[in-house]
Chains A and B, each alone.
Chain A
Amino acid sequence: MAGYLARRLLRAASTLLGTTLILFVLVRVVPADPAVSIAGPKADPATLAAIRKDLGLDDPLPVQYGRYLWGLAHGDLGRSYVTGRRVAALIGERLPATALLAVTSLAIGFALGVGVGLLTAARQGSAADLGVLVATLVGLSIPTFFVGNLLIYLFGYRLRWLPLGGYGGVRHLLLPAATLAFVELLFYARFVHTSVTGTLASDYVRTARAKGVPPLALYLRHALRNALVPIVTLLGLDVASLMSGVVLTETVFNWPGLGRLAVQAVFSLDIPLVAGTVLFSAVLVLACNLVVDLLYGVIDPRVQHG
């Protein structure tokens, strides 16, 4: 177990280092001169030179990368070019809104999706299989922002039950959470359905059935346990795609979270802010995957010796 843990930690650390390198390279090859972004296009050369010196933009690249890493190690993500405020503070302000949206929609989508998957898998036969496949395929093909807009039209404009967007109480949360939960629901329903039907068809389940295990016990005790182990992995991998969905959903509903922050930063060419939000999401994904790896080691004894 200790060896497994050490390997996982090492891997996560090296991925994180790689991410910082990619972001550093991207940030340094952006054509816009940071000094110009800060001082504006009409600034005189002396001011620009002073800002460049201040930011250390004249130093060799490895030195700059080292300084970037040093700052990161101390929780310093740099300062926004536009507002001059700390990127870490800006992220901290927006994080609760994103967390609220992401956790709510994941919880709803996951619970409903697993439920639907179990129900459809219990109903064996190729018609149920085809139904689940086609329904999830079509549903997952509809762009998130289109789903969001349709919900706004129906519940906001036509029925006038819910606000069109913005941040506030539960009423503001319902539509964006439903938009994201829609995707999660289909995603987990498909996975659970495929996984459980696969397990039900396996030899040990057939043996148990031949021995006269009642159908419900067969389903719950034999098929489900094994079928649901990989779902833990999926939950970890899903965090990355959930973040992508969050960006679009926040834009549709004008939800003041990290996604809006990143998109707005792109339009103002606020590079440290863009890089900061992306790095933050990457850390989040890595942390979730690490937790999943550890859980997996606990759930499935085979992993510890792998």
Chain B
Amino acid sequence: MGDGGRGRGLLIAGATLVAAIVLLALLAPYLTPYDPDVTVVARYTGPAPPSAAHPLGTDTLGRDVWARIVFGARTSLAVAVLAMLVSLGIGVTVGLVAGYFGRWLDTACMWIVDLVLTLPTLLLLIVLATVLPPSLLTIPLVIGLVGWTTFARTVRGEVLSLRERDYVLAARALGASHAWIIVRHLLPGALPSVLALAALGMSGAIGLDAGLSYLGLGVPLPTPSWGRMISETQTYFAVAPWLVVVPGVAISAAVIGFNLIGYGLLDLLGAPRT
């Protein structure tokens, strides 16, 4: 399975796709003369198909679709990065603690992991989104709170295999503190798989954010968001298919890009995948 060429191929393909989307987000103001939230057509006669002035057409409110896509990329990426960091922070901490200290702490941590896994992700997100009023900060927090379990399980597994190694036992015999052993000896060993999971975490967060936005529970208006672009315009699908296809392709491309990076890394690490 660990055929290096394949993993590298996936990684390069994913990195290219992600780099393109990140560039769109960073350069958004330079890529379009239009404000994404403002009606830009002189006389509104319904959504207009792609033209020279509006490469991806205009939407049901006469806004430029391309402008909404590039500015929407900012929202999607920002939400995903924050959510992934929340998941990573919680998951890595729980995994390190559970794996290193073992015993009842391990049992308790894994019980919580099981609990979170039992609740259907989207329904849990819906409940959390009801409790916390949606904003650019709460949405990532909520997505991060349901997504940390994979990090915890993987890091725990790595730590379990590392903690009996000679160099760790030696460090302990020399009187190194728990914190030192965890940060200095165990964390670096778990880092490669955490990196792969971080990429998969990004794709998961982008998908969940799009799903929440589609249900109308995402980052509130007027911030442009890819998921909401679909839910707002799907009733016009028959007459203006580009309104749904364009954001749909954008979401898919972003998720595919991060998934390619994640699986490419896993492949290079020779990790089993399911």
Interface residues of A (CB under 8 A from B): 11, 14-15, 18-19, 22-23, 26, 29-31, 126, 130, 133-134, 137-138, 140-146, 149-150, 152-153, 157, 190-191, 194-195, 198, 234, 237, 240-241, 243-244, 247-248, 251-252, 262-263, 266-267, 269, 271, 274-275, 277-278, 281-282, 285-286, 289
Tally of chain B residues near chain A (CB < 8 A)? 51
Cβ B118 vs Cβ A19 within 8 A: yes
In the bound complex, what is the Cα–Cα distance between A123 and B128 (angstroms)?
46
9 contacts between A and B (CB under 8 A): A18-B112, A130-B6, A141-B256, A143-B207, A243-B123, A244-B123, A248-B211, A248-B215, A278-B123
**Per-residue contact bits, chain B 9-41, to A (CB 8 Å; 1 contact, 0 not):** 010000000000000000000000000000000
- B129 and A153 form a contact (CB under 8 A): no
Do B214 and A145 have beta carbons less than 8 Å apart?
yes
Contact A262 B123 (CB under 8 A): yes
Q: Does B221 count as interface, using CB distance less than 8 angstroms?
A: no
Contacts of A157 in B (CB 8 A): 237-238
CB nearest to A247 among chain B residues: B122
Chain B minimum-CB-distance residue to A30: B131
Q: Would B211 and A145 count as touching, CB distance under 8 A?
A: yes
A140 to B123 CA separation, bound complex (whole angstroms):
20
B118 touches A278 (CB 8 A): no
Query: Which chain A residues border B61 with CB–CB below 8 Å?
Result: none
Would A282 and B244 count as touching, CB distance under 8 A? no
Interface residues of B in 211-243 (CB under 8 A from A): 211, 214-217, 227, 230-231, 234, 237-238, 241
Distance of A28 Cα from B136 Cα, bound (Å)? 24
Closest chain B residue, CB of each to CB of A28: B131
**B211: which A residues are within 8 A, CB to CB?**
143-145, 244, 248
B3, B124, B227, B259, most chain A CB atoms within 10 A: B124
Which residues does chain A contribute within 8 Å of B237, judged by CB atoms?
149, 152-153, 157
Most buried by B among A191, A240, A271: A240
The interface of chain B, by Cβ under 8 A from chain A, is: 1, 3, 6, 10, 111-112, 114-115, 117-124, 126-131, 133, 203, 207, 210-211, 214-217, 227, 230-231, 234, 237-238, 241, 244-245, 248, 251-252, 255-256, 259-260, 263, 272-274
Chain A residues with Cβ under 8 A from B203's Cβ? 141
CB-CB under 8 A for A274 and B120, given A141-B255, A149-B237: no
Report yes or no: B130 in contact with A271, Cβ–Cβ below 8 A: yes
- Bound CA span A243–B203, Å: 20
B252 interface neighbour in A23, A142, A271, Cβ under 8 Å:
A142
Nearest CB to that of B133 among chain A residues? A31
Chain A minimum-CB-distance residue to B252: A142
What is the CA–CA distance of A277 and B252 in the complex, to the nearest angstrom? Answer: 29
- A29 and B130 CA atoms in complex are apart in Å by 10
Given A26-B128, A137-B259, A274-B126, A149 and B244 contact (CB-CB distance below 8 Å): yes
Q: A149-B237, A149-B244, A266-B129 are in contact. Are A240 and B6 (CB under 8 A)?
A: no
Lowest 5 A-B CB distances belong to which pairs?
A244-B122, A243-B120, A146-B248, A141-B255, A157-B238
B131 interface neighbour in A29, A133, A153, A243, Cβ under 8 Å: A29
Evaluate contact between B273 and A194: CB separation under 8 angstroms. Answer: yes
In whole angstroms, what is the CA distance A266 to B119 when docked?
17
Q: Which of B118, B234, B244, B251 has the most CB of A within 10 A?
A: B118
Closest-CB distance, A120 to chain B (whole angstroms): 15
Closest to B122 in A: A244
Given A133-B10, A251-B214; 7 other pairs, CB 8 A cutoff: A18-B111, A19-B119, A26-B131, A126-B3, A143-B207, A146-B252, A278-B119
Which residue from chain A places its CB closest to the CB of B256 in the assembled complex? Answer: A141
List residues of chain B with CB within 8 A of the CB of A133: 10, 263
Query: Which residues of chain B are near A134, meaning CB under 8 Å?
Result: 10
| With A19-B119, A137-B256: A143-B210 Cβ-Cβ less than 8 Å | yes
The reply to whether A263 and B114 contact each other, CB–CB distance below 8 Å, is no
Instruction: Write the nearest CB–CB distance from A75 to chain B, whole angstroms.
Output: 20
Q: What A residues does B251 contact at CB under 8 A?
A: 143, 146
| Cross-chain contact A15 with B123 (CB below 8 angstroms) | no
The chain B residue with its CB closest to the CB of A138 is B256
- In the complex, which of the residues A15, A234, A240, A289 contacts B120, with contact meaning CB atoms closer than 8 Å? A240
Contacts of B121 on A, CB cut-off 8 Å?
Answer: 240-241, 244
